[in-house]
């Protein structure tokens, strides 16, 4: 039986988000294998067999920056209430929060 904590939930959400971003970066017809490696400084690098790279870096405040090999960037910030805001380098913003049932809602 798995035991989830708030920290493991955040990590799982980041892994899901990073996987989603990697899928957007990789063309659907390539079916490339993707491998990710975290390091001890809370950085993760994902690379596919076509050479596409996605890097994420988390600072001491829990803010994460995602960068792909094409120069696209997404910054995420989570406030004290658990609301997360994602902003890309084009100015697009998505805000997410958890509802009373634990579902993540993004708008």
* Domain contains 14: no
pLDDT of 1 > 50? The answer is no
Domains contained in the chain, number: 1
- Beta-strand (E) ranges in the chain? 34-38, 43-48, 53-58, 64-68, 73-78, 84-88, 93-98, 104-106
- The whole-angstrom separation of Cα 78 and Cα 70 is 25
* Domain contains 58: yes
Sign of the torsion angle spanned by Cα atoms 36, 39, 42, 45: negative
Q: Which residue range forms the structural domain that includes residue 41?
A: 34-106
Q: What is the pLDDT of residues 38-97, one digit of tens each?
A: 988 878 999 988 888 999 998 888 899 999 988 899 999 998 888 999 999 999 999 999
* Domain contains 49: yes
* Domain contains 63: yes
Alpha-helical regions (H) of 1-107:
6-25
* Domain contains 96: yes
Give residue 6's pLDDT.
55
Q: Model-level pTM greater than 0.85?
A: no
Beta bridge partners of 54: 46, 68
Beta bridge partners of 45: 37, 55
* Domain contains 24: no
């Amino acid at each position: 039986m798995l035991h989830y904590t708030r920290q493991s939930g955040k990590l799982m959400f980041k892994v899901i988000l990073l996987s989603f971003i990697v899928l957007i970066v990789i063309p659907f017809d390539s079916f490339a294998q993707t491998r990710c490696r975290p390091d001890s400084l809370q950085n993760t690098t994902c690379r596919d067999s076509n050479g596409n790279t996605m890097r994420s870096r988390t600072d001491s405040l829990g803010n994460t920056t995602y960068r792909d090999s094409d120069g696209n960037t997404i910054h995420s910030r989570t406030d004290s209430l658990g609301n997360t805001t994602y902003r890309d380098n084009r100015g697009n913003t998505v805000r997410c929060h958890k509802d009373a049932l634990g579902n993540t809602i993004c708008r």
